[in-house]
């Protein structure tokens, strides 16, 4: 059976991803315009105050983990966090979570994977970066290389497995209860969409941070 480009683009997970990215982009641009109009001497209120708290938290998190390189990684961590939080909890709004598709989670893991190794080369220099693959002893080179390629696979499958399993369990319960499913709907979405969704977003960000910071040369700070 042939799959057309149209069917690929508008697959549920891709459609949800595009919708979430589009909405987030519009909201961020609107907030950016509001921030530009804000008087520097005035204290932010409402959504702008919440935004300031989030940005300060992310900046502090990045300073603690990336040291002097924090300004380079803070935008990525914030963007990744926003996408994962809204993707993992999108089931609350009747969407299929994009992270319930392994193609989406693997794409996110690949971005982290390339960032890990680009960071290592730029921070340590290629010679010191390459030498790290032969530690603690040179014969470990093949295993260390395999281990590095296993990183994006593990990252993507962990996120995909947890979100997809929650989606599957919710679907099974709805199928069994039928019209009575509304009784457990708040509990199911509270557990799988909100609780597990937020936890998996945090786990993915923490693991990405650990892997990236592990490649940075932070000894001379």
Neighbours of 152 (CB within 10 A): 21
**Cα–Cα separations (whole angstroms), residue 48 to 22, 86, 145:** 20, 19, 45
Check pLDDT > 90 for residue 136.
no
Structure tokens that stand for 27 in this block: 């909201």
Neighbours of 111 (CB within 10 A): 15
Q: What is the mean pLDDT of the chain?
A: 85
Q: Could you state, in order of their start, the residue ranges of all structural domains in the chain?
A: 5-213
The pLDDT assigned to 76 comes to 95
Q: Which of 42-46, 129-133, 199-203 has the lowest mean pLDDT?
A: 42-46
Rounded Cα distance between 123 and 216, Å, is 6
DSSP 11: S
Mean pLDDT of 176-184: 69
Query: Nearest to residue 62, comparing CAs of 205, 217, 219?
Result: 205
Q: How far is CA 117 from the centre of its chain?
A: 18
The pLDDT assigned to 196 comes to 87
The pLDDT assigned to 78 comes to 95
Check pLDDT > 70 for residue 11.
yes
Are 91 and 170 in contact, with CB atoms under 8 Å apart? yes
Higher per-residue pLDDT: 172 or 81:
81
Question: Could you report the per-residue pLDDT of 73-121, keeping only the tens digit for each?
Answer: 999 999 999 999 999 988 888 888 999 888 899 999 999 999 999 998 9
Query: To which residue do tokens 């490649």 refer?
Result: 215
Rounded Cα distance between 58 and 55, Å, is 5
The pLDDT assigned to 160 comes to 92
Name the burial class of residue 153, with classes exposed (0-12), middle (13-18) and buried (19+) by CB atoms within 10 angstroms of its CB: middle
Beta strands in the chain (DSSP E): none
Report for 68-77, 129-138, 141-150: range of highest mean pLDDT: 68-77
Measured over the CA atoms of residue 25, residue 31, residue 33 and residue 36, the dihedral's sign is: negative
The pLDDT assigned to 10 comes to 55
The pLDDT assigned to 59 comes to 95
Check pLDDT > 80 for residue 133.
yes
Check pLDDT > 60 for residue 9.
no
Query: To which residue do tokens 């909201």 refer?
Result: 27
The pLDDT assigned to 3 comes to 46
The pLDDT assigned to 176 comes to 73
Check pLDDT > 70 for residue 2.
no
């Amino acid at each position: 059976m042939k799959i057309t480009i149209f069917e690929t683009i508008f697959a549920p997970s891709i459609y949800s991803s595009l919708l979430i990215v589009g909405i987030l982009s519009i909201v961020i641009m609107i907030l950016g315009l509001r921030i530009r109009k804000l008087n520097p001497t005035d204290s932010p209120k409402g959504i702008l105050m919440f935004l300031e708290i989030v940005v300060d938290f992310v900046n502090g998190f990045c300073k603690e983990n990336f040291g002097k390189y924090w300004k380079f990684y803070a935008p990525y961590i914030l963007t990744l966090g926003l996408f994962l939080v809204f993707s993992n909890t999108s089931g609350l709004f009747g969407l299929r979570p994009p992270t319930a598709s392994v193609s989406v989670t693997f794409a996110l893991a690949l971005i982290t994977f390339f960032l890990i190794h680009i960071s290592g080369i730029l921070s340590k220099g290629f010679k010191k970066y390459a030498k790290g693959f032969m530690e603690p002893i040179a014969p470990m080179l093949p295993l260390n290389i395999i281990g590095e390629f296993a990183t994006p696979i593990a990252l993507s499958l962990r996120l995909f497995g947890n979100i997809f399993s929650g989606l599957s369990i919710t679907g099974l319960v709805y199928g069994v209860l039928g019209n009575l499913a509304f009784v457990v709907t708040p509990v199911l979405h509270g557990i799988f969409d909100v609780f597990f969704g937020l936890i998996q977003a945090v786990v993915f960000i923490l693991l990405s941070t650990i892997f990236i910071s592990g490649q940075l040369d932070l000894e001379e700070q």
